[in-house]
């Protein structure tokens, strides 16, 4: 009765769709117009994706740091490497550039060689004062040489901050106002003001200015993500439509399919706008994903329509059969794909949740579009002519199906040996997979801004900040000499790590103060003694903490201090070694009963977030497997069939994971999606094959081999078409400038190709080899949903 009711539902739905075509067209136009109206609410990310939950300890530490010291990543930097910089003309044009930058409302202040200030001691007032080193730029070479000597040799406080004494490279630090760093205003300033200004400076002075800093990197990287959405949509549409046309040799079939998926893209972008989710490197993948996933729906529906037309030539009946016979199967396959994405919703990662919500909603949306647009569009068109039906007898496809049938019929042992060897090799490869939590890992390596990152890595030991937050647990505890000496010990240890820049902290300020107290003698750039501290601190008290000299490094209470260093672009394994090394030194230097010390900063947060994401991947993939197993149980009501059906879908995932190990492709936020995406899509082929296999079993009265080969011949063509489209569709991601997206495209394409072969060769082989276990009525009970109509059921209705 349930089967009968199920078929009555789809027959009723077919009548509703085909009898109310105009109403459905107006409905689709209205819905698409609504989604288009939501595009204006789309938001582009203005900061790195926070991969950790808000209540995660690492996030709590970072928010505590921001609350006490403000935004860490608000500095733009310019670098000028010129051995002849110390000339009157060049210093003046550098000064002019600095003044132009200072004039913008978005800029808080600018620190540069030309406005460098020297801490001096005012004996009369008993306080420190900051005096400009440049009162006027000297013009003669001897005075310029003396000025260069003073800056490079007598002001160690600014070393590695504003200049590199060994190469002569100078740097300008431009501090943006904190309230615009994570806003749209930052993007406007960078693209409309900052970049044009530096471009003009380079042109006018015939020189090369290196640009970097987290606001600059984040802005250009985010713009690359936005640019790639359009590129991927057009590339995916172009590639899939070309392959579609080559298969079907029909312009109208191709146009109808493109109409379906482009409507799907409009809905996906509208969903992002309606939910006000930011477009990140993950959510930017959704529009092209919808195209790649939607095309197989079109292939199954159009292929079935043309088969029906070739069989009896009745257009109305053909369109009805498309909805009745393929609608249910396509719904099930789309549900499994959506379920693979939906498992991300159950994770604690905000980024993955948003990706899972939008992707799963729009996979169902593309199913609705396919089921409505294709039958309605064809209902207004004449029947396909003979040329359009020629692909049903494609000789190449026929040879491919015969080759698969030969493998299943005669080479099953060979298939099992290859499968076993692949499994063993994959497991070995899996143990070599590395994790990448570098914030710079996925950035486009060929872009100029990435080359500038490498420049600053070389000249100033990195631009990615790493912060150390020190809680002395008492007011003014930072300025105790014992605390300063402990900080100096840690700073000395950090200076020994080649991947880290020398630290800046209150220790530097106190050393500079002692140098100033001794009339600027650089030999006194050391921590003061206990007796010296009393005199020096009294000078600070009289000058409101040295005109903010100390204020940048400790909070208002004097209980908390920060130590800032910068990291070069290093791999995750080395980052973890450095982290462990620093934590070990911290535990040694700062007794836990007296101090609370934590490492934080965006770089460390991203590393922890990546590890957290990978943990969530395991959870989401396990949930996906469990959920899809439930679908199989609901459809086939056989535990043994569930196990057999999962084997050809899990094996390609293991092979891909092994390949990642051998190829040195790390697990990172972009590549971890490979497994859930590929599993959710590849299981669709299994459903189509097993559904047809069941139908053939019942029609042939449990003749196993005949049923397997019949199912292989019937479903092989559509599965080959869809797999090829998916392969080339995901391959378009390999045109990305982001390394992770390239890896995602290549790995998913490879996985789906393996999945096709596993479903068309390994799965039939298992069904034949295990015929005594899975091919009797006690195991293959009547399914809860009749996916493909059997001839017996058809006759009973007739």
What confidence score (pLDDT) does residue 462 get? Answer: 78
Each residue of 556-597: pLDDT tens digit?
Answer: 888 999 998 888 877 777 888 888 999 999 999 999 999 999
Each residue of 222-272: pLDDT tens digit?
Answer: 777 777 777 777 887 788 788 878 777 778 888 888 889 889 999 999 999
Whether the CB-CB separation of 427 and 658 falls below 8 Å is answered with yes
What confidence score (pLDDT) does residue 268 get? Answer: 93
Each residue of 679-701: pLDDT tens digit?
Answer: 777 777 787 787 777 777 777 77
pLDDT higher at 767 or 363: 363
Q: Per-residue pLDDT for 530 more than 50?
A: yes
Nearest CA to 762 among 497, 513, 501, 417? 417
CB atoms within 10 A of CB 641: 23
Binned at pLDDT 50, 70 and 90, residue 7 comes out as low
Q: Per-residue pLDDT for 349 more than 80?
A: no
What confidence score (pLDDT) does residue 4 get? Answer: 52
pLDDT higher at 167 or 312: 167
What confidence score (pLDDT) does residue 376 get? Answer: 92
Could you give the CA distance from residue 674 to residue 669 in angstroms, rounded to a whole number?
A: 10
Whether the CB-CB separation of 565 and 601 falls below 8 Å is answered with no
pLDDT higher at 289 or 414: 414
Each residue of 545-557: pLDDT tens digit?
Answer: 444 566 678 888 8
What confidence score (pLDDT) does residue 796 get? Answer: 39
Q: What is the pTM of this model?
A: 0.73
Angle at 793 between CA 788 and CA 796, to 5 degrees: 160
Each residue of 751-798: pLDDT tens digit?
Answer: 888 888 888 888 888 888 877 665 554 444 544 444 444 444 444 344
What confidence score (pLDDT) does residue 549 get? Answer: 62
Q: Per-residue pLDDT for 633 more than 70?
A: yes
**Cα-flanking dihedrals φ and ψ of residue 570, to 5°?**
-125, 160
Binned at pLDDT 50, 70 and 90, residue 433 comes out as confident
What confidence score (pLDDT) does residue 211 get? Answer: 92
What confidence score (pLDDT) does residue 604 get? Answer: 80
Each residue of 136-191: pLDDT tens digit?
Answer: 777 888 888 888 888 888 888 888 888 888 888 899 999 998 888 877 788 889 99
- Percentage of residues of the chain with pLDDT beyond 70: 90
Residues 6+ apart with CB under 8 A from 107: 101, 174, 175, 176, 177
Instruction: Report the range of poorest mean pLDDT among 78-92, 522-536, 612-626.
Output: 612-626
Binned at pLDDT 50, 70 and 90, residue 542 comes out as low
For the CA atoms of the chain, what is the radius of gyration? Answer: 33
Binned at pLDDT 50, 70 and 90, residue 673 comes out as confident
Helix or strand or coil: residue 125? coil
Binned at pLDDT 50, 70 and 90, residue 71 comes out as confident
Please state whether 567 falls in left (phi above 0), alpha (psi between -120 and 50) or beta: beta
464-471, strands of its sheet edge to edge: 560-567, 464-471, 596-600
What confidence score (pLDDT) does residue 50 get? Answer: 67
Binned at pLDDT 50, 70 and 90, residue 674 comes out as confident
Strand duo 278-279 + 43-44: pairing: parallel
Helix or strand or coil: residue 447? coil
What confidence score (pLDDT) does residue 732 get? Answer: 83
Nearest CA to 411 among 775, 651, 755, 761? 761
Each residue of 450-479: pLDDT tens digit?
Answer: 888 888 888 888 777 888 999 999 988 988
What confidence score (pLDDT) does residue 325 get? Answer: 76
Each residue of 95-119: pLDDT tens digit?
Answer: 999 999 999 999 988 999 888 888 8
Question: What is the rounded average pLDDT of the residues 416-443?
Answer: 83
Nearest CA to 82 among 186, 202, 230? 202
Could you give the CA distance from residue 463 to residue 481 in angstroms, rounded to a whole number?
A: 30
Place of tokens 């015929």: 771
Each residue of 23-60: pLDDT tens digit?
Answer: 999 999 999 999 999 988 887 665 566 677 777 888 88
Residues 6+ apart with CB under 8 A from 172: 77, 78, 79, 80, 94, 97, 98, 101, 110, 111, 112, 113, 162
């Amino acid at each position: 009765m349930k089967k009968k009711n199920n078929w009555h539902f789809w027959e009723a739905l077919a009548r509703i769709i085909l009898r109310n075509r105009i109403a459905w067209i107006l409905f689709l136009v209205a819905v698409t117009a609504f989604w288009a109206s939501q595009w204006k609410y789309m938001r582009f990310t203005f900061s790195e994706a926070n991969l950790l939950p808000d209540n995660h300890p690492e996030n709590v530490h970072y928010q505590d740091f921001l609350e006490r010291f403000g935004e860490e990543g608000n500095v733009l930097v310019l670098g000028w490497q010129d051995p002849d910089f110390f000339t009157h003309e060049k210093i003046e044009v550098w000064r002019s550039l600095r003044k132009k930058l200072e004039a913008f409302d978005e800029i808080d202040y600018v620190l540069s060689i030309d406005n460098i200030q020297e801490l001096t001691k005012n004996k009369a007032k008993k306080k420190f004062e900051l005096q400009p080193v440049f009162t006027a730029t000297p013009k003669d070479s001897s005075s310029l040489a003396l000025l260069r000597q003073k800056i490079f040799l007598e002001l160690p406080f600014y070393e590695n901050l504003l200049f590199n004494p060994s190469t002569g490279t100078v740097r300008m630090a431009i501090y943006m106002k904190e309230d615009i760093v994570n806003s749209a205003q930052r993007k406007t300033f960078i693209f409309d003001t900052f970049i044009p200004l530096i471009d003009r400076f380079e042109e006018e002075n015939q020189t090369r200015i290196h640009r970097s800093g987290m606001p600059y990197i984040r802005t250009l990287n985010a713009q690359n993500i936005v640019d790639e959405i359009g590129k991927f949509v057009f590339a995916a549409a172009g590639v899939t439509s070309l392959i579609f046309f080559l298969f079907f040799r029909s312009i109208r079939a191709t146009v109808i399919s493109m109409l379906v998926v482009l409507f799907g893209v409009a809905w996906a972008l509208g969903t992002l706008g309606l939910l006000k989710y930011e477009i990140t490197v993950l959510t930017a993948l959704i529009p092209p994903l919808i195209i790649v996933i939607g095309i197989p729906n079109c292939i199954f529906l159009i292929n079935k329509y043309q088969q029906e037309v070739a069989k009896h030539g009745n257009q109305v009946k053909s369109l009805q059969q498309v909805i009745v016979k393929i609608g249910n199967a396509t719904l099930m396959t789309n549900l499994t794909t959506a379920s693979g994405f939906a498992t991300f919703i159950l994770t604690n990662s905000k980024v993955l949740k948003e990706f899972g919500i939008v992707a799963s909603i729009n996979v169902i949306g593309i199913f609705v579009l396919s089921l409505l647009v294709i039958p309605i569009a064809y209902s207004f068109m004449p029947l396909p002519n003979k040329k359009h039906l020629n692909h049903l007898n494609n000789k190449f496809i026929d040879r491919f199906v015969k080759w698969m049938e030969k493998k299943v019929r005669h080479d099953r042992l060979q298939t099992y040996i290859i499968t076993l060897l692949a499994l063993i090799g994959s497991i070995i490869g899996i143990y070599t997979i590395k994790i990448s939590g570098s914030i710079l890992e996925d950035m486009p390596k060929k872009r100029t801004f990435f080359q500038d990152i490498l420049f600053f890595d070389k000249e100033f030991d990195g631009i990615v900040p790493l912060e150390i937050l020190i809680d002395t647990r008492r007011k003014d505890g930072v300025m105790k000499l014992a605390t300063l000496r402990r900080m100096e010990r840690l700073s000395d240890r950090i200076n020994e790590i080649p991947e880290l820049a020398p630290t800046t902290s209150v220790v530097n300020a106190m050393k500079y103060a002692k140098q100033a107290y001794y009339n600027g003698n650089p030999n006194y750039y050391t921590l003061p003694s206990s007796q010296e501290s009393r005199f020096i601190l009294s000078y600070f008290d009289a000058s409101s903490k040295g005109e903010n000299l100390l204020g940048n490094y400790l909070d208002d209470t004097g209980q908390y201090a920060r130590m800032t260093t910068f990291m070069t672009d290093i791999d995750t394994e080395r980052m973890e070694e450095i982290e462990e090394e620093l934590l070990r030194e911290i535990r040694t230097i700062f007794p836990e009963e007296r101090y609370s010390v934590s490492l934080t900063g965006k770089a460390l947060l991203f590393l922890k977030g990546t590890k957290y994401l990978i943990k969530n991947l395991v959870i989401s993939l396990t949930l996906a497997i469990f959920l899809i197993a439930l679908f199989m149980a609901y459809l086939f009501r056989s535990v043994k069939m569930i196990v057999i059906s999962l084997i050809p879908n899990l094996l390609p995932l293991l092979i891909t994971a092994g390949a990642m190990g051998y190829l040195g492709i790390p697990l990172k936020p972009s590549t971890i999606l490979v497994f859930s995406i590929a599993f959710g899509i590849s299981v669709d082929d299994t459903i189509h094959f097993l559904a047809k296999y069941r139908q053939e079993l019942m029609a042939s009265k449990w003749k196993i081999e005949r049923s397997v080969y019949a199912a292989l011949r019937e479903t092989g063509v559509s599965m080959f078409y869809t797999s090829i489209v998916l392969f080339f569709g995901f391959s378009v991601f390999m045109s990305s400038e982001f390394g992770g997206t390239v890896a995602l495209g290549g790995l998913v394409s490879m996985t789906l190709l393996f999945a096709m072969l596993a479903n068309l060769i390994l799965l039939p082989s298992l069904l034949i080899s295990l015929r005594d276990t899975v091919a009797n009525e006690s195991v293959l009970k009547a399914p809860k949903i009749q996916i493909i109509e059997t001839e017996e059921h058809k006759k009973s209705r007739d």
